[in-house]
Structure 1
Amino acid sequence: MQDTRSNSERATTELREMIFSGALPPGSDHLETELAEKLGMSRTPVREAALTLRAQGLVELRPRRGLRINPVSAKDMADIYDILTELESLAAARAAEARYSRADLATLATAIGDMTEALAQDDLRAWANADDRFHRELVRLGGNARLSMIVSVMRDQVRRARATTLFIRPKPTQSNDDHRAVYQAIAEGDPKTAHDIHHAHRLHARDMLVSLLEKHQFHGL
């Protein structure tokens, strides 16, 4: 019984990660046998995981056709980004107010450097990874545990939407410039500039992402 529960939990965790990373794309169909083979386990824990993922709104169960990965909703992303924009911008302002040293901001600086290098190499997956690290660290530097908790709840859905649009979006050079400007404002202890630049950055990201999702959504699959 313990092994069954453990396998079910592992199947749920790994399938969620595959959905959020884009390895299981929105609108795609997958048989239980196929997923069980991918995960190296029997169909029973995969079936149990599928029920959990259905309850979370991530998949649809279709007779004789297995799981269908639900599309990323443009409306959901617009709603999520509206919240993220306000919360992350507040975190940026609080980080600037904290008067961190350059050493304290090293993780933020490293993420920016990695984003720059990734674009130079045309490695969008590496850029997305570094971008995620930048936003995680920005929220952490804001110093508000409750804010961090709320943002973490929405982070997986943002990752999923970004994975869906990563290779059809414009090259994110402006995003890198925005991150550098936010970093500079935090380093200089300028909360208004940090807030305003990040707020505009997130609004632009929201509009671009929602537009792409609306244009390329896989309706009717």
Structure 2
Amino acid sequence: MSDSRPAMPPAPATGRKDAAYEQIRRLILDNVWPPGHQALEQEIALQLGVSRTPVREALIRLEQDGLLQIVPRHGIRVLPMSAQDMRELYEVLTALESLAAELLALQRPDRDTLAPLVQATDAMAQALEQDDLDSWARADEDFHARLVTLCGNRMLAEAVFSHWDRAHRARMFTLRLRPKPLESTREHRALIDCLLAGDSAGAGAVNRAHRQRASRELLSLFDRLRLQQL
């Protein structure tokens, strides 16, 4: 029996361009395409299953975003992450997230309010037991996103999320290069205890120490990689 349903019209050009942009962007942010990755425009179009025109337009946007470089006649090259950029990024995130922790503690949240943080921390612990670093990274990212959302300061959350992509890329780039992240679960649970106790100063201090430790690990790794490339 023939299918009498009408054929779907082709996707609008704008839709194809935006879809290509999001797909390529995600490949870079998730470190599927690591720093230094090179590809020809035609290869990318074949991989995404679209024509070269939306790919070309998407690549121009991604170059403007600072994620890649278009090399004439040689396709694209994914740009590296600067150690200085990462240092500044973590300084900003440390300050904003620690303030979010302080603001949330002042609200004296109950266990129901903090359930998303507990669930994310439990998911991190379970992922480590199973040596599933990808699941650990998702749960860790969920914890920090929930923290800044729960604090109730919309502008603070918007400021944090404006840096989210770069923080995600750094996390995924270093995920399998760092030591197993055993300390994060303990530090998250200590933060939850401070929040439940309404200890604003303690919550800020615990989160600040947590972010500063992570920053030191990441920057030390960036320095080692740079020296290996000299």
* TM-score bin (small chain): over 0.9
Give 1:11's match in structure 2, choosing from 13, 20, 28: 20
Separation in 1, partners of 2:175, 2:110: 33
Q: Give me the identity figure in percent.
A: 42
Q: Does structure 1 residue 158 correspond to structure 2 residue 167?
A: yes
Separation in 1, partners of 2:119, 2:75: 43
Residue 204 of structure 1 corresponds to 213
Deviations 1:133-158 (A, max 9, x none): 00000001111101111110111101
Distance apart, 1:64 and its partner CA? 2.1
Residue 198 of structure 2 corresponds to 189
Separation in 1, partners of 2:61, 2:219: 27
Residue 167 of structure 1 corresponds to 176
Give 2:109's match in structure 1, choosing from 100, 103, 126: 100
Distance apart, 1:219 and its partner CA? 8.7
Residue 90 of structure 2 corresponds to 81
Give 2:153's match in structure 1, choosing from 144, 148, 152: 144
Count of residues paired in the alignment: 220
Residue 76 of structure 2 corresponds to 67
Contiguous gaps of at least 5 residues in structure 1: none
Contiguous gaps of at least 5 residues in structure 2: 1-9
- Higher CA-based Rg: 2
SS of aligned partner of 2:108? coil
Give 1:130's match in structure 2, choosing from 135, 139, 152: 139
Separation in 2, partners of 1:148, 1:116: 26
Consecutive aligned runs of 4 or more in structure 1 exceeding 4 Å deviation: 217-220
Distance apart, 1:214 and its partner CA? 2.2
Deviations 1:89-126 (A, max 9, x none): 00001111111110111111000000000111111111
| TM-score, length-scaled by structure 1 | 0.96
